[in-house]
Chain A
Amino acid sequence: MQCDEYRELIAATPSGLSAGAAEHAAQCSACDAYRRSMQSLDQLISRALNIDIPELAMPELADIDGLSNVVSLPLRRVAAPVWLGLAASIAVVSVLAVRFLANDAVYPSLSEEIVAHLDHEPGALRVTTEAISAERLESVIGERARMDSNAGLISYARSCVINGHTVPHLVIQGESGPVTVLLLPDEMIDAAVPLEGEGIRGVILPVGNGSIAIIGERDEPLEVIEKRVVDSVQWKT
């Protein structure tokens, strides 16, 4: 091992020594002195980083309903007023009715209900490389849609209620994290409707006589997933 290579390694990991690095240090007094200097520096860095901690308050933690995964915290994700922003800049959504959740919360629009729904499904936020089985997917979507395997890695599937309809709620693993896909075969819209929430963004896309909502982390390149999902879904009539 050369001195330059040794010093780069030591500067990156002062405490970790491979056999080759240890051998070089034993033979090169200058590099050994460099190692000791870096280790002294690291002790100082460690002390510098250990800042005093003030008294930290724990936030109030409301009970969670584990059976339905409904979170009883106040809705935090909806950026108000989403529906005003939509009306100002996007084509008119064909359905503008009052929406109800199973727990009687009221939303003025489909988009608000969809964004709020994400707060009720903490299990859908899981980052994983495990796909659900084909049987599981079929049991959730089988009555209303077909989906081929090109949509991506589907890691979550359950039936949820949106606007009084039972719909498939799926999660596809994206580049930045889990991407929620809601298949809405009963929600016909004229044009795409953007979705916004804290740290998330998405869209409801018109697909035949229904629509599909796709929401991910703000930095997720959703357009790629949108195309794959729309191309992979066929409604069953």
Chain B
Amino acid sequence: MKTASAQAGRRKRFDRVVAVMHADMYRFATWLSRDPAIAEDVVQEAMLRAWKSLDALRDDSAAKQWLLTIVRRENARYFERKRLETVDIDNLTASQSAMLAETDDAQLDEVRKAIFRLDDDYREPLVLQVLMGYSTEEIADLMDIRQGAVLTRLHRARNKLKDVFESEELRNRD
């Protein structure tokens, strides 16, 4: 059996490397699943998996990428297990509606809804780049696709959002 001090050391490492990422993991999971309630479940499972596999993480500086990979896999498993339908934008759950609750900034609200409506293939690299700060090369590694594919998806994602952004700007001027 591991000694008490070894267990405590392991727990400290977990707190230092994993627990600090809790909020980032939740935000990432929320934008992957488009449902805060699902994201909470996914992140709980991801935390447990990270706890069990902590010894497999050789380099603490790689923790963020390791954890987001675990979140991606847990999200995929969740949807596979539950066989959930794709999101119906006209019939949101209470938790999805809360995610898109209106603020005082109509332009922000419209862009948030537009990001929500993006296909998974476009939304995920955008979240990884803008929210998580990854380079296109790092995103390619994380998503296991070519860097060229990442660039294409980002470019298409932004062009879709640009139309929304520009129409809101016009509305605000009028």
Contact = CB atoms under 8 A, between A and B. Distances in A.
A199 B7 contact: no
B156 to A, nearest CB: 8
A55 to B, nearest CB: 10
Nearest to B10: A64
Contacts of B154: 11-13
A44 B77 contact: no
A73 B52 contact: yes
A71 interface: yes
Interface in B44-80: 44, 47-48, 51-56, 73, 77, 80
A44 B56 contact: no
A64 B56 contact: no
Contact of B162 (A13, A37, A54): A37
Nearest to B9: A66
A45 B115 contact: yes
Interface string A43-66: 011111111011011110101111
Interface residues of A, number: 43
B84 interface: no
A161 interface: no
Contacts of B48: 59, 61, 73
B131 A49 contact: yes
B111 to A, nearest CB: 5
A11 B159 CA distance: 7
Contacts of B30: 51
Interface string B7-19: 1001100100001
B117 interface: no
Contacts of A41: 111, 158, 161-162, 165
Contacts of A112: none
A13 B80 CA distance: 32
A63 B52 contact: no
Nearest to B78: A199
A11 B152 CA distance: 9
A42 B155 CA distance: 12
Interface string A25-48: 000000000000110111011111
A53 B36 CA distance: 9
B94 interface: no
Nearest to A40: B165
9 contacts: A12-B136, A38-B162, A49-B130, A50-B27, A57-B44, A61-B47, A67-B2, A69-B55, A123-B55
A170 to B, nearest CB: 16
B41 to A, nearest CB: 10
A64 B26 contact: no
A136 interface: no
A180 B104 CA distance: 53
Contacts of B2: 63-67
Contact of A49 (B10, B14, B56, B127): B127
B40 interface: yes
Contacts of A57: 44
A8 interface: yes
A127 to B, nearest CB: 8
A29 B107 CA distance: 26
Interface string B89-121: 000000000010000000110011001000000
Nearest to B99: A51
A53 B23 contact: yes
Contacts of B55: 66, 69, 122-123
